[in-house]
């Protein structure tokens, strides 16, 4: 797929006392695809793309409870057929008051109706992610773990660590 292009433009602005507002456009163009009929015989070549428009907001309920949300417009097109939908993402971050540096988070992605493409409905890939992270060694070491629970495949556990050396 040598003609495939992924383009993105985004901007976010902190608004004093209110949080942050942002937006973005993602465009995935698959290039020129070879057309074939049901028998595999060549037909006319065609193009396909996916497009995503996003408006985002992030803020806090308290000093230790933060949130963010995206509202998305989705467009897919293949040859002369296309489909649209919308979705929302919502995320929450809880900072522990008891243990400094311990955080918990949960994210809900692609909350919204199915994508209507030509004459069929295609469900969006909904997922929920729940995770935690903690800092150690004077905030030089971060250890994190989360579980991603997609609607269309088995859950996956991720874990990682990051260490910052002095004099970074």
Alpha-carbon distance of 108 to 57, in angstroms, equals: 15
Query: Would you kindly state where each structural domain of the chain is located, as residue ranges?
Result: 5-124
Q: 0.85 exceeded by the pTM?
A: no
Q: With beta carbons less than 8 A apart as the criterion, state whether 68 and 61 touch.
A: no
pLDDT, tens digit only, all 168 positions of the chain: 558 899 999 999 999 989 999 999 999 998 888 888 888 888 888 888 999 999 999 999 999 999 999 999 999 988 888 899 999 999 999 998 888 889 999 999 999 999 988 788 889 999 999 999 999 988 899 999 999 999 989 999 999 999 998 755
Query: 166 phi and psi, to 5 degrees?
Result: -60, 145
């Amino acid at each position: 797929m040598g003609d495939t292009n992924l383009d993105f433009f985004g901007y976010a602005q902190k608004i004093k006392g209110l949080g942050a507002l942002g937006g973005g456009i993602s465009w995935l163009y698959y290039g020129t695809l070879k057309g074939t009929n049901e028998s595999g015989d060549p037909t006319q070549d065609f193009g396909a793309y996916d497009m995503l428009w996003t408006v985002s907001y992030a803020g806090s309920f308290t000093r230790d409870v933060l949130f963010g949300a995206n509202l998305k417009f989705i467009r897919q097109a293949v040859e002369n057929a296309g489909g649209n939908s919308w979705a929302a993402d919502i995320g929450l971050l809880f900072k522990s008051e008891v243990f400094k540096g311990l955080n918990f988070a949960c994210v809900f992605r692609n909350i919204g109706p199915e994508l209507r493409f030509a004459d069929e409905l295609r469900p969006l890939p909904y997922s929920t992610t729940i995770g935690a992270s903690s800092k150690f060694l004077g905030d030089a070491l971060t250890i994190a773990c989360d579980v991603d629970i997609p609607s269309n495949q088995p859950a996956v556990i991720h874990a990682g660590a990051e260490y910052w050396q002095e004099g970074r």
